């Protein structure tokens, strides 16, 4: 039997940031079935999300792959402006690649969209309780990262911007420059400029070596 939608004046207020309306609507329906949770506002971009903070949410659920913005940059902005805001990242990207980066940006948890229906409520409650939410496997990986020094390549990758990191990930997955431009809603020249910056930061000579590095990096994770 479904629970009645939460009453806004006595429930945890939640902002959903996702550029797909069907995801926003589905999450809103799911969360509003909980007696103590209420989606007070939803946004499809970083600009809309910052404006929506007027509804004074207790928590933000953020997709890091917004169509024209970096969700990780939004997380960082949220953390700077609203230090008490609970933030859960909901993403289609592999947790092993992006969770640590999301946590460093200021998120309190990371949940892959493939697992969202089954685990989102428990993830929300874990974050609201003041804990970090990631999968058990990711917990182990993060624990190892605290005791094992990063390899040189990982240290270099840490110096990439959020957009450069995302592009490196897509290169490793086999996307061409034009496909990356279309996926990120940017011009080919913009992506090429980012790739040049990546090569400089990683001391890589050419595009072929960059592709080889990106593929090997992803396979080693």
CATH number of the domain to which 188 belongs: 1.10.10.10
Per-residue pLDDT of the chain (221 residues; tens, 9 = 90+): 333 344 455 789 999 999 889 989 999 999 999 999 999 999 988 899 999 999 999 999 998 877 667 788 899 899 999 999 999 998 877 666 778 788 888 999 998 887 767 789 999 999 999 998 987 666 666 655 544 444 445 667 888 888 898 899 888 877 889 888 888 888 999 999 999 999 999 989 888 889 888 877 776 66
Phi, psi of 109 (to 5 degrees): -170, 165
The tally of domains found in the chain comes to: 2
Does residue 3 lie within any of the structural domains? no
Instruction: State the Cα–Cα distance between residues 66 and 191, nearest whole angstrom.
Output: 17
Count Cα atoms within 13 angstroms, Cβ side, for 32: 16
Q: Residues 177, 215: one domain? A: yes
Secondary structure class of 74 (helix, strand, coil): helix
Taking the model in full, what pTM does it have?
0.66
Residues 97, 191, single domain; the answer is no
- Name, in order, each residue with C-beta under 8 angstroms of 83's C-beta and a sequence gap of 6 or more: none
What residues contact 154, with CB distance under 8 A and at least 6 apart?
none
């Amino acid at each position: 039997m479904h629970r009645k939608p939460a009453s806004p004046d006595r429930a945890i207020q939640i902002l959903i940031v996702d550029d797909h309306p069907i995801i926003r609507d589905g999450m809103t329906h799911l969360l509003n079935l909980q007696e103590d949770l209420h989606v007070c506002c939803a946004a499809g971009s970083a600009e809309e999300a910052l404006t929506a903070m007027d509804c004074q949410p207790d928590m933000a659920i953020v997709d890091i792959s917004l169509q024209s913005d970096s969700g990780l940059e939004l997380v960082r902005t949220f953390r700077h402006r609203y230090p008490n805001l609970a933030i859960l990242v909901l993403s289609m990207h592999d947790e092993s690649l992006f969770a640590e980066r999301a946590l460093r940006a200021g998120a309190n948890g990371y949940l892959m969209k493939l697992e969202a229906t089954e685990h989102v409520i428990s993830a929300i409650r874990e974050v609201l309780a003041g804990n970090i939410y990631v999968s058990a496997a990711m917990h182990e990986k993060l624990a190892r990262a605290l005791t094992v020094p990063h390899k040189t390549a990982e240290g270099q990758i840490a110096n990439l911007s959020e957009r450069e990191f995302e592009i490196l990930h897509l290169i490793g997955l086999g996307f061409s420059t034009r496909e990356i431009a279309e996926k990120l809603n940017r011009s080919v020249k913009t992506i090429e400029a980012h790739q040049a910056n990546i090569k400089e930061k990683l001391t890589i000579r050419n595009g072929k070596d960059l592709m080889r590095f990106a593929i090997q990096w992803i396979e080693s994770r």
